[in-house]
Chains A and B, each alone.
Chain A
């Protein structure tokens, strides 16, 4: 921005909604500090700020809990970070209707706590749910271990309130679980990374909490065996409801950092996984079978899956209770997004479910210099997350990304770069190749945000 940053923001919202310059670095996007930060206390203030930005041509970078702020192409400059974390009210929750309307800044943990009081939940999964917000999970279309069982966030969002690039508040959908009144803009905003509008309110249909949750962890000699077993199990009527396969490095991390310590500390709240050291050492991949439902059904699923696992070559089928299952699910969601276990590079591949074994196999042959890749495969939903912890120069990382994308394309899939250094991101489109409908996407962006104020440059095709 060549012109001086416009003023007037301080007249719109109270001083405590405007963090001082000294704190702006905490709101950096891909290492770039914003010129201003606003943390509005309510939707009206948020709308005022948005209108101010529109009037002054200031770019706006919406932020929830800041957990996935690194997702997307790096911005050229960062005008205003609009932090929505104080818009965290439950607006209307009717357990009998099985719908909940909330402000977008509510954290996933808080939302689930509210719903759990009436034995309900919404199947939204995101890394770091104590910070991650509903708006962020929707904007990034975040999915996790249970995506196969429950579907992605788009399946649960029934109504939405947004701030447009012109500062006007609009809504789509409603508070009923089945609704075809007008275009389904819920789908359009979900996964649009805040580039069409800023989500300020969301209504979900919710689901009953299942009385039982269990997990079986099954070590296999190789990762391909673990993925292939999952594919078979998911075709079994009494198989798991969701399945993940973790390559050996990830599996050891799960066991040693999450499940084993809990076992050692004898944490209350359920049986924790225990695998012998010998099994852990010979393990090439770990199958994680998730179960939820009524007691009798879960018992049968666990029994039949356990037997099937051993038949398909698993060295063990170690059970955990609900807490172990929840810990493993959260571990999977968090992977790649925590500061203390950050990979050099991570990608998310989406592909038809039938190719997941072959695609995982191909991906595991890709390394970063001397370091092998690690994979978390979901043969039910049709996704592979790929992680590299090796060190390399930019050219090496770029080649690894290109190689991964070639593998994905060969299998009818796509690969987006989830995390890597901004300097590398600047040299490619993290979302991959432009799809056939790119022209339609450009037209949509032009219709919704002609000034290119909302997260400019960060989405597919640098929209």
Chain B
């Protein structure tokens, strides 16, 4: 079941050549004895992230500051021991999974919010800061951190940078990359440098832009400056109940057609509705075929005016019921089903496999039909809980890992779902990253030449390929996932 040691050969040199004991003791000299974990029992929790991949690191270090990160990186580079950064381990593509001969650098101790500047609308944080903690802190100053991945209670800013994390409200505000001002980074050889600044623009290549979303293969961000946005004057949430996914997709097009870009536009399909209702009553009728959630933000006048149009569009496209809420507690109630949907899938099957395909908005309905067809063909139930406004699907393939051949079946079905997305003009991943999971499917989207150009960027940042090697690009090794148990409150 282990995955990583089958996919990537160890680099020459490595731990064995250096001597494991000697290497661990050097790490301890840098970060302190208690901040290196290397006993196999202690390493178990670092074997997984939120995806279906696994890989046991040889050690995990917990540095306190940039200087320590730099020294650890330099040591690993010298010893040819691969390194991967780890935030909270909520990633969904195997991005933080360690090379079997490598170590993890975990940022649990580097979790301070260093600065919040109301006038410049920015915050400076360490990479281990939790996304929601930053947002909560910013709200005290009348601001917020806009990117809100569904794992925001757990995921870290460093991980968000690596994966260019999205979230429901990215429809209006953009993903992580649109909010990063600058970074201090450590390169694989321990060099510390700075990308961007506290200004929106800096001369030269936009390195902070290409670093964001590089899945931890360029370097490690040790200090991150992000933009904060002022809180909107008004927020209103609409929930529309539809007979089926098709009519809900028509509603999505109708809203967009009115020239409205909501702050969030989310959809839940019938199977997910059943799961949600199994777990707790979110107020969805049993025969509901799809639920749409639409959130509007802005000036009160804007929200009022566009709200009327949204409401009309929902009725016009066949909604059987429309609910609206402006007060925070009531809005929370409307979001309840959406936020709990993935966790609720556990009531239908022991395991799920979450796919992150993205398609042009107008292709949503036909692609969802084809996804359902893939499910029927493989006899895999598929629940959909997703970011409809930006065409980012999240088909959840339900299965039971204890049944023989189940893993192979869902892996094959997942690959087919992604092929459907790409054929419809879409891409492999909207917000979760390629990582280990989808690297063999990269040729569906990019030619060898396209990928060669991407590798050049990596070679500029990490010429020794000693940081998070074996990710993103295909290397001909079959992807063999390990199962992932649904955990309430875990990401989407």
Contacts and interface: CB of A to CB of B under 8 A. Distances in A.
Partners in one complex: yes
Interface of A: 94, 96-99, 119, 141, 143, 147, 151-152, 154-155, 164, 168-172, 174-188, 190-192, 196, 207-209, 211, 231, 235, 237-238, 293-297, 299-301, 350-354, 381-383, 412-414, 416, 431-432, 435-441, 443-444, 446-448, 459-461
Closest 8 CB pairs of A and B: A187-B209, A208-B259, A447-B456, A443-B460, A354-B120, A97-B360, A354-B119, A96-B362
A176 B210 contact: no
B16 interface: no
Nearest to B174: A155
B305 A294 contact: yes
Given A172-B446, A237-B233, A296-B305, 20 more contacts: A96-B361, A97-B363, A97-B391, A172-B453, A176-B427, A180-B430, A181-B438, A181-B446, A182-B445, A185-B454, A185-B457, A190-B209, A191-B206, A293-B302, A350-B200, A353-B120, A354-B117, A354-B119, A414-B197, A444-B457
Given A94-B360, A96-B257, A431 B204 contact: yes
A190 B177 CA distance: 14
Contacts of B213: 180, 183-184
A404 B451 CA distance: 42
B299 A297 contact: yes
B166 interface: yes
Given A182-B446, A440-B460, A296 B304 contact: yes
A381 B454 contact: no
Nearest to B166: A178
Interface in B154-201: 163-164, 166, 170, 174-175, 177-178, 187, 193-195, 197-201
A173 B165 CA distance: 16
Contacts of A99: 360
A372 B201 CA distance: 26
Nearest to B447: A170
Contacts of A152: 200-201
Contacts of A175: 360, 425
A178 B175 contact: yes
Contacts of B392: 178
A237 to B, nearest CB: 4
A443 B218 CA distance: 13
Nearest to A143: B201
B360 A237 contact: no
B359 interface: yes
B193 A440 contact: yes
Residue from B359, B427, B428, B450 whose CB has the most chain A CB atoms within 10 Å: B427
Contacts of A172: 446, 450, 453-454
A151 B207 CA distance: 17
A412 B207 contact: no
Given A412-B199, A437-B194, A448-B456, A174 B209 contact: no
A192 to B, nearest CB: 6
Contacts of A299: 301
B199 A414 contact: yes
B445 A181 contact: yes
A98 B430 contact: no
Contacts of A461: 204
B203 A436 contact: no
B150 interface: no
Interface in B409-468: 425-434, 438, 442, 445-447, 449-454, 456-461, 463
Contacts of B205: 188, 191-192, 196, 441, 444, 460
Nearest to A236: B230
A320 to B, nearest CB: 21
Interface in B371-415: 387, 390-392
A97 B299 contact: no
Interface string B100-123: 000000000000000001011110
Given A154-B206, A164-B453, A208-B261, A178 B256 contact: no
B163 A190 contact: no
A352 B174 CA distance: 21
Interface residues of B, number: 88
B202 A177 contact: no
Contacts of A431: 203-204
Contacts of B453: 164, 170, 172, 185, 448
Given A352-B198, A382-B199, A447-B456, A178 B391 contact: yes
Contacts of B304: 296
B24 to A, nearest CB: 31
A277 B360 CA distance: 54
18 contacts: A155-B178, A170-B452, A171-B446, A177-B361, A178-B392, A180-B430, A182-B434, A184-B213, A184-B214, A188-B210, A188-B457, A231-B119, A237-B299, A293-B302, A297-B305, A350-B202, A352-B199, A440-B207
Contacts of A178: 166, 170, 175, 358, 387, 390-392, 430-431
B330 to A, nearest CB: 22
Contacts of A187: 177, 206, 209-210, 212
Interface of B: 117, 119-122, 163-164, 166, 170, 174-175, 177-178, 187, 193-195, 197-207, 209-210, 212-214, 230, 232-233, 253, 256-257, 259-261, 298-299, 301-302, 304-306, 358-363, 387, 390-392, 425-434, 438, 442, 445-447, 449-454, 456-461, 463, 472
A97 B442 CA distance: 23
Nearest to B456: A447
A352 B436 CA distance: 38
A170 B449 contact: yes
Contacts of A383: 200-201
A182 B442 contact: yes
Contacts of A301: 299
Contacts of B428: 181
A353 B232 CA distance: 20
Nearest to A210: B259
A382 B200 contact: yes
Nearest to B204: A460
B399 to A, nearest CB: 25
A333 to B, nearest CB: 16
Nearest to B176: A180
B200 A176 contact: no
A432 B230 CA distance: 32
Contact of A435 (B166, B202, B457): B202
A181 B178 contact: no
Nearest to A352: B198
Nearest to A209: B259
Given A154-B206, A188-B457, A435-B204, A180 B429 contact: yes
A366 to B, nearest CB: 19
Given A188-B209, A192-B205, A435-B202, A170 B450 contact: yes
A346 to B, nearest CB: 15
Given A155-B174, A188-B206, A350-B202, A294 B302 contact: yes
Contacts of B432: 180
Residue from A182, A190, A441 whose CB has the most chain B CB atoms within 10 Å: A182
Contacts of A432: 203
A251 B457 CA distance: 45
A413 B450 contact: no
Residue from B177, B206, B387 whose CB has the most chain A CB atoms within 10 Å: B206
Contacts of A237: 230, 232-233, 299
Contacts of B194: 435-437
A70 B432 CA distance: 41
Contacts of B164: 180, 184
Contact of B458 (A97, A183, A296, A352): A183
A208 B163 CA distance: 28
A181 B442 contact: yes
B299 A352 contact: no
Contacts of B391: 97, 176-178
